């Protein structure tokens, strides 16, 4: 009933079933540098070049809480939160508890701005559903499996036959795939399949391909790194991965990646872009824009200054090549340049000699202060996405919800 080819190919096939977020982090790097503050910068339009996300994203850097919100916290945050939540949100008490619980544990100011930022992302990503449904999920999963099966000359029917074995809930694995509705269900299925790999006939050590989930679509890798840098406030009901797919865990980790790092942006819009593209991507995209102008290089402002493979730098990036053209003007060695570029996912990059010198040269060339923040130009890719969407689209969409939320604050 099974062939060696089908079983060896199946572990590869299943890896295509994930519905990844734009920037799932790999090999996290933990940083405990204190927040750094500087004056906000002016907004600028990004260049037209659009970058497609790389297969291996850069590492995540987790930083302690940033500077306080511009407004003081509300006298009654729970009452304010109830006012700010959209009317369509159901189970409002549980959402209020989880949002305020996350803010308390992460030491975030419960200001209208911060609360609305989290509300806007939840509304955009899940419409306040703890485990949002994905339309056509079985079709997406089988479609990707079929594509991979064809590449290995394994008939899809043979793969489905291999998955007729009963799972823990009494249904076959094939039946469970056919009835998938949510990413949470898909995650549970693949978690079980990874544990039961030997019994199913799959190679031992097959990893769960699901990388993001929950009401704020948080990266599992980020969450696993965060608990090593900051104490998780709730009793775990399983793995960190399982917490990501819960309402309370999804809100907690989503609030952390959105707000628990210091930036000097003039608008929350750029935090929303960073949420989608990676921390400090808006700052780094502005740096790339300045670098392109100075060097004459064509750079896609995607916010990634280095190339990565499995969380470590690999090869020479376009931004590195552009900086090399300015070596004489910068009066910096290759080693010093690389040292500073490695800070790109850290608040400290803005205080590095490389950043300061490049931005000073760009200011002088333009005869004015150039932008210190722009929206990264990244095309979003996912089996769920059928239109051409970008990080800028995401940020502007969430920002619209954010402004509506602030309007409810009165």
Apex 131 CA angle, 92 and 12, nearest 5:
165
Distance CA 274, CA 287 (A): 15
pLDDT digits (tens, 9 = 90+) for 56-103: 444 445 454 444 345 566 679 999 999 999 999 999 999 999 999 999
Task: Using DSSP bridges, classify how beta strands 212-213 and 61-62 pair: parallel, antiparallel or unpaired.
Answer: unpaired
Token pair, residue 211, equals 């990388």
Task: Using DSSP bridges, classify how beta strands 308-309 and 212-213 pair: parallel, antiparallel or unpaired.
Answer: unpaired
DSSP 163: T
Containing H/E element for 51? strand 51-52
Predicted local distance difference test score (pLDDT) of residue 102: 98
Predicted local distance difference test score (pLDDT) of residue 376: 95
Helix, strand or coil, per DSSP, at residue 212: strand
Token pair, residue 128, equals 């306040």
What are the residue ranges spanned by the domains of the chain? 4-19+136-209, 40-61+265-410, 66-132+214-260
Predicted local distance difference test score (pLDDT) of residue 201: 61
DSSP bridge pairs for 308: 313
Predicted local distance difference test score (pLDDT) of residue 143: 79
For CA atoms 265, 266, 270, 272, give the dihedral sign. Answer: positive
Sites in the chain below the pLDDT cut of 70: 1-74, 148-149, 152, 197, 200-207, 380-388
Instruction: State the Rg of the chain over Cα.
Output: 22
How far, rounded to the nearest angstrom, does the alpha carbon of residue 184 sit from its chain's CA centroid?
17
How many other C-beta atoms are found inside a 10 Å radius of the C-beta of residue 146? Answer: 18
DSSP 87: T
Predicted local distance difference test score (pLDDT) of residue 134: 85
Find where tokens 């954010």 sit: 402
Contact predicate 378/301, CB 8 Å: no
For residue 35, give the nearest of 61, 5, 65 by alpha carbon.
65
Contact predicate 371/288, CB 8 Å: no
Contact predicate 52/381, CB 8 Å: yes
Contact predicate 181/134, CB 8 Å: yes
């Amino acid at each position: 009933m099974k062939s060696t080819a089908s079983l060896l190919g199946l572990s590869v096939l299943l890896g295509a079933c994930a519905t990844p977020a734009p920037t799932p982090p790999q090999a996290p790097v933990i940083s405990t540098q204190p927040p750094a503050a500087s004056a906000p910068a002016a907004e600028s339009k990004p260049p037209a070049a659009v970058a497609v996300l790389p297969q291996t994203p850069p590492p995540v850097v987790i930083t302690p809480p940033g500077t306080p919100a511009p407004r003081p916290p509300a006298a009654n945050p729970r009452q304010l939160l109830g006012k700010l939540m959209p009317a369509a949100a159901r189970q409002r008490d549980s959402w209020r508890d989880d949002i305020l619980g996350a803010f308390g544990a992460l030491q975030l100011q419960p200001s209208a701005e911060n609360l609305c930022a989290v509300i806007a992302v939840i509304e955009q990503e899940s419409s306040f559903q703890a485990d949002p449904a994905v339309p056509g999920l079985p079709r997406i999963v089988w479609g990707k499996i079929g594509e991979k099966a064809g590449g290995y000359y394994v008939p899809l029917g043979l793969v489905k036959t291999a998955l007729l074995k009963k799972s823990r809930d009494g249904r076959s694995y094939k039946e469970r795939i056919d009835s998938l509705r949510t990413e949470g269900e898909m995650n549970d299925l693949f978690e079980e399949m990874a544990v039961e790999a030997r019994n199913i006939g799959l190679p031992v050590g097959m990893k769960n391909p699901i990388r993001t989930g929950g009401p704020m679509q948080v990266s599992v890798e980020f969450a696993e790194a965060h608990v090593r840098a900051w104490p998780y406030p709730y009793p775990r009901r399983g793995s960190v991965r399982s917490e990501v797919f819960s309402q309370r865990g999804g809100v907690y980790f989503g609030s952390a990646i959105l707000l628990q790092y210091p930036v000097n942006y003039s608008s929350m819009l750029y935090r929303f872009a960073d949420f989608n593209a990676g921390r400090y991507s808006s700052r780094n995209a502005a740096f790339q824009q300045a670098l392109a102008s100075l060097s004459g290089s064509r750079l896609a402002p995607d916010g990634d200054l280095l190339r990565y493979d499995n969380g470590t730098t690999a090869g020479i990036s376009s931004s590195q090549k552009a900086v090399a053209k300015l070596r004489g003007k910068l009066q910096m060695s290759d080693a010093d340049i690389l040292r500073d570029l490695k800070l790109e996912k850290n608040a400290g990059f803005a205080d590095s000699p490389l950043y300061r010198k490049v931005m000073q040269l760009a200011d002088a060339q333009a005869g004015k202060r150039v932008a210190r923040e722009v929206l990264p130009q990244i095309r979003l890719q996912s089996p769920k996405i059928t239109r051409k969407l970008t990080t800028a689209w995401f940020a502007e969409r969430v920002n619209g919800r954010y402004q509506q939320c602030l309007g409810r604050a009165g």
